[in-house]
Amino acid sequence: MRSSILIAALLLPFSLFAQKQKVWLDSDTGNEMDDLYAIVRLLKAESIEVVGLSSAHFNNPDLLVFEKWNAYETKNLRTLEDSQRLNEEILAAMGLRQLPHPKGADRQIGRAWGGQEPRDSPAAQAIIALVKSLPDGEKLDVLTLGALTNIASAIILAPEILPKIRVFSLGAKYNLGTRAWSKNEFNIRNDLNAFDYLLDLQGLDFTVMPLETAFPLQYDRDDTYARLNEKIPVEHILENRWREQNPQDKTRVMWDLALVQAYLLPQFAEVLTVNSPPENKTITVKIFSKINKEALVDDFWTSLRK
């Protein structure tokens, strides 16, 4: 008994000072409702330390030629500002206003014809400063739910941070049968230059969740309404977002939540190393190839109640 107590006493300081993995979330929160669910799930996670939440733009050609984008009037729509507003609402509802939440870039890197000119922003600078402050041996995990502008810009502006970051992104398509990539996807098309830059970057630890992998994570509207408690501020925000943004949809694919859940619960996801798109310079890239939908759904509702 005495020896057991001694061992426990010796191990206690190590457990008290064990560092949780630091995670930065970059989100085009204003675009669709699933971003909010993903943000709340990550902020509820006890296994990691969320160190920042930045806003991302979702600029796309439709904003120029159509009267509406989702539930928004496109006239005077400022996508970055809308993402920032929602980020701040979520943090306030969860009592987390102290969490860094800088604004990202308002447009893609480079130009319409390509290029790698960075788009500087408070978010890019905050990521750079944070990575540089990490002690030797620590890395920052950056999860991106939209265009890759902010993380690509941070690396272009300060390439020395590359060895100390890992990037996990939702975007693109990948056919497991034919092993063919497609960049014809919303997040990627909003900053194709940034995606190509990261795929060409030697030494980047990069994991992508293609849309095919996220697709099974679908939520039922009425079940979701029944589970959410309107008296809890953040749950009120989640329910209102569905009611305001997509009230006509009986089900919704929770794209961004799938990435966050697969990251947090690797035991319920599979990762493969596959060939990069043939036009890119790196040879391979990692992808989330499969998720356990039932386990991830159960975990979300359990975590929400903590």
Domains of the chain: 18-304 (3.90.245.10)
User: Tens place of pLDDT for every residue, the chain, 306 residues?
Assistant: 444 444 444 444 444 456 899 999 999 999 999 999 999 999 999 999 999 999 999 999 999 999 998 888 999 999 999 999 999 999 999 999 999 999 999 999 999 999 999 999 999 999 999 999 999 999 999 999 999 999 999 999 999 999 999 999 999 999 999 999 999 999 999 999 999 999 999 999 999 999 999 999 999 999 999 999 999 999 999 999 999 999 999 999 999 999 999 999 999 999 999 999 999 999 999 999 999 999 999 999 999 988
pLDDT of residue 98: 98
pLDDT of residue 11: 45
Q: How far apart are CA 12 and CA 7, in angstroms?
A: 9
pLDDT of residue 21: 98
Residues 6+ apart with CB under 8 A from 85: 30
Residue 297's identity, in one-letter code, is: V
Distances (CA, A) of 173 to 18, 66, 90, 169, 288: 37, 26, 30, 12, 11
Tokens 């890239």 map to which residue? 285
Q: State which H helix or E strand residue 264 sits in.
A: helix 255-264
pLDDT of residue 2: 45
CA nearest neighbour of 259 among 284, 296, 294: 296
Q: How buried is residue 157: exposed, middle or buried, by Cβ count under 10 Å (0-12/13-18/19+)?
A: middle
CA nearest neighbour of 173 among 193, 157, 154, 195: 195
Quote the DSSP letter at residue 162. G
| CB 206 within 8 Å of CB 167 | yes
pLDDT of residue 305: 85
| CB 3 within 8 Å of CB 56 | no
Please give the full DSSP string across 65-133, using - where no structure is assigned.
Answer: H-SEETTEE-TT--HHHHHHHHHHHHHHHTT-TTS------SS-SSBTTB-------HHHHHHHHHHHH
